Every structure is written in structure tokens, then in C-alpha cells.
Structure 1
Amino acid sequence: MSDATLTDSRDAPAMLVLAPGLSGDDARVCTQRVAAADAALVVSLRRPPEDWRAARDGALPPTCFVTAEPNGDAANAVADPGDLTGLGIAVSERLGDLPEDAEPAVCVDSLTTLLQYADTERAYRFLQVLCGRVRAAGGTVHVHADPAAHDERELDRLAGLFDGVRSVEN
């Protein structure tokens, strides 16, 4: 990722979080962003909700999930992570279930997994709509990605959707 793209605006409404694999620092950044919200929505594509919760210490607000496979904790599940229309509908439904005055924190875990099922252009459009919807609700959104799994050009293009990019070490 180019230095011109890499920023560290920790309070950015929309942030791309770059971290290798399932790092502890990645989970810490996520917890900080989610804990400050009234409610949280997690789009968990790489692990079940109980594993996502277990990786985060600290108090979390009421948290709901959209997952890529059926799970008791998730009111919404999509059969195929590449079905971005279905994923978008599930996210919209869950956001619609939140109290009207809630300022949600949305976590997408992870862009790396999403890009295994959908091409960059489709993922770009999905994230563009998601970021716009969350900003309009006065909330925050952050998206996890493993920088080693993507080429620099792809990350630079996707980083343009976000107000900030935070790189964390393992």
C-alpha cells in the first residue's frame, strides 16, 4: 500500500484495518471501535460469532451478526459469501432492527475472505453502499484485511472508500 494512502485517523467514521491473519492487535483495534458504539453489527465471514467474541476482551455493546453460514447467534446468514446482494439485504435488515437513535458500529471481518468469493469491483460497490449507509446513520464502519493477501493496486483502490487506513502489526 502506498504511503499516500496509509493514514492513521483512529476516529475515522469509515476505516480499513490492515493486519496479518488473525492478529491480537487487529482484534484490539476492532474492540476499541465497537465498544464506543450503542450497538454493533458484525459481518463475520471468516469465523463464527462465538470465535469473533472470544478474540475480543472488554465490554461490547449489544452485538448482532450476519454470517456466511447458519449459526445460532446470527439472525441472518447467507449461504454464499459471494452473494453480495443477499449479504447487503441481510446487513440492511439487521441495521433496520437497531433502535432508531442508535449510532452503530459495523465490523466487516473480513475483506480478504470477501475477495475470495467476489471480484474487486463487486466488493467495491458493496462496501461503497455499506459505508454510505453507516455514515448516514451516524455510525462507524471498519473492514479488516490481511495486506499480504492482496496486491498493492487492489488495496489502494479499496482504500479510497474509507476515511482512514490503519495498519497494525502482529
Structure 2
Amino acid sequence: MSETAERTRINVIDPGSGSLQGWFVLEAATRYLEQAAYINGFDKRSVNTLSTDAHQTLYRTKRGRWVLSCWTDWQNDIPTYEFVDEDTAKRWLILNDEDAAVEEHFGPMDEESGPNLGGRPAIGPKIPGFPVPQALLERVDDYAKGEGISRNEAMRRLMERGLESPPVA
């Protein structure tokens, strides 16, 4: 950390190699503080580290990079600073109830998010704008009805069957 009269330069070091990755000016960055929750009515734990002593702060630099600072309450411990990607920064902001920052930097938040606990799993990518003549679509629907399957399943089966057949000369 280098300090002048008006600014503090923070060096960002790669935790694996120990090499300098870059730096930022602390006073020019936006700081997001972690949230903490009380347990047992006494201990306050970080929602990020689940520890009473280890903490995190997220910064957005003047040029739009995300930096995660990890620090502890332990004497003589030195904070670390690491560049993180946008997905990591977004998850950190959501976990720490920084919804306004999420919307500012990543757009509107969904009303709900989480694993899909029901419904049919995705089979593969969709093919948007795949035109099918009406007469052919009716034949596919007739096949699907006869097999007791959905139109999509019928199309998958018919495509597989077509690809497994020897080419017509």
C-alpha cells in the first residue's frame, strides 16, 4: 500500500504466485461492506466467511474492475486484495444485500432465483426460427399422437431416425 497526501494506492497480488496483478486508488473506488449476522445473540459472523474474525470487502475501481479484499481481526494480519470476475462480484453483492448495486452494475434482478426443482430438464439448446411447412408439421403431430409423445419428442426421434438411415443417393 502506498500513500500520498490525497490517495492510497492498493496493490493487487495474485494469491497463487504472489505476483503483482495491478493496483487501484482506494479513494476513487466504491466500497461495499459485508453484512454480518448475530448468532447466539452475542457473536457476529460474516455472511461471506461464516467466521467471527475473517471478513471481506468488495471494491469497484474507477475503471470498473472488481476487487475482493479479505482481512481479519487478528493482530499483525495484512489484508489481501484480489481481482474477481463479474459473476463473483454479483454473487457477493447479492449475498450482502446490495440489491441497488446489483441493479446499477448488472441490470434488474430477477424476482426469484434458485435451482429448478421441478419440470422437465433441458435436453439441449433450442433452435429458434426453425421453419417447418404446415403439411410436414401435421405429419409430425400425427406421428406424435400415434406414439403418445409430445411434438418435440417426435421431432427428436424422427431426426435421429433420419440421421441413422443410410444416405439416399
Asked if these proteins are the same fold (TM beyond 0.5), I'd say: no
- Sort the TM-score into its range (normalised by shorter chain): under 0.3
Give the strand-richer structure, 1 or 2. Answer: 2
Larger radius of gyration between Structure 1 and Structure 2: 2
> Higher relative contact order at CA 8 Å, sep ≥6: structure 1 or structure 2?
1
| Bigger share in helix | 1
